[in-house]
A and B are shown apart, each in its own frame.
Chain A
Amino acid sequence: MRVGVVTFPGSLDDVDAQRAVRVGGNEAVALWHGDEELHGVDAVVLPGGFSYGDYLRCGAISRFSPVMSAVVDAAGRGLPVLGICNGFQILCESHLLPGALIRNDHRKFVCKDQRLRIENNRTPWTSAYAEGQEVTIVLKNGEGGFVADEQTLDRIEGEGQVVARYLDGNPNGSLRDIAGITNERGNVVGLMPHPEHAVEALTGAGTDGLGFFTSLTAQLFDSAR
């Protein structure tokens, strides 16, 4: 499958994400923030970093980049989209996912190997995991606190939209220990930890993140390109 990885001005993990896509057995296609179309990719990854310098709010300016208009349209038709860290922030700012990410409650940047529980393996990005599987994936963020009002939190919990939850302590003050969520349809996933940094034993704590990049091939789904 051809997986587009968007580079925004300020993206840091786009090349890691491209590599992870290839390690996961798919073809990585570089997309640019100024692209007005998605060049026929079967899925899109929005990588981590500091798009547009994170000025105004994280992800707020990226949301209005040309490529995001195409991503929002395609996501609405069912295209699988994975936003990692800054990409998660962009998805929330784009209203593809509910809630918002705010500065960590302890006000410090955090960088650590983080234990997670995969709560939902019915997305195109998590089908390679067992439901309830516990994994270790590196986390690095300054604004990773997931917030939403109580009604929204109850709704996404009830609908099974929590994809991953922090274990062994909450690293950033995210409400209900939420580390990742999906939209109602299940094709758009936002995740604060970085699975693209956990696909090869040489450079990380392990390869627990690889499932996010092999799930596309593990599960058949309707491509919406």
Chain B
Amino acid sequence: MPKVVVDVMPKPEILDPQGKAVLGALPRLGFSGVTDVRQGKRFELELDTVDDAVLGEVEKMAETLLSNPVIENYTVRVEA
């Protein structure tokens, strides 16, 4: 079953409180050297077939529901 992965990330200029919380926790656990963390979402879509038409549909899904273009960017890729 082919799989398409949509990654959604908060836009660089948008505050990411979740990423900030993780960044704050890392030193407390003894992990040093991390200067920034951004937290996003990963969607794995299983599809019957993948072709250009299907990928066009996935683009639409990503733009309308999976991400909010006001605050997030997304990428779509086919996973073998």
A positions within 8 Å CB-CB of B:
56-57, 60-61, 64, 92-93, 98-100, 102-107, 145, 147-149, 173
Contact = CB atoms under 8 A, between A and B. Distances in A.
A102 B15 contact: yes
A107 B65 contact: no
18 contacts: A56-B66, A61-B65, A98-B70, A100-B68, A102-B10, A102-B14, A102-B15, A103-B18, A104-B17, A106-B17, A107-B20, A107-B21, A145-B15, A147-B14, A147-B15, A147-B70, A149-B13, A173-B15
Interface of B: 10, 13-15, 17-18, 20-21, 65-66, 68, 70-71
Contacts of A173: 15
A133 to B, nearest CB: 30
Contact of A107 (B13, B14, B17): B17
Contact of A93 (B14, B15, B68): B68
A145 B20 CA distance: 15
Contacts of B21: 107
A173 B14 CA distance: 12
Contacts of A107: 17-18, 20-21
Nearest to A143: B17
B24 to A, nearest CB: 9
Contacts of B10: 102
A147 to B, nearest CB: 6
10 tightest CB-CB pairs across the interface, nearest first?
Answer: A100-B70, A103-B17, A100-B71, A107-B17, A107-B21, A100-B68, A57-B68, A105-B15, A105-B17, A147-B14
Contacts of A106: 17
A145 B68 CA distance: 15
Nearest to A63: B65
B71 A102 contact: yes
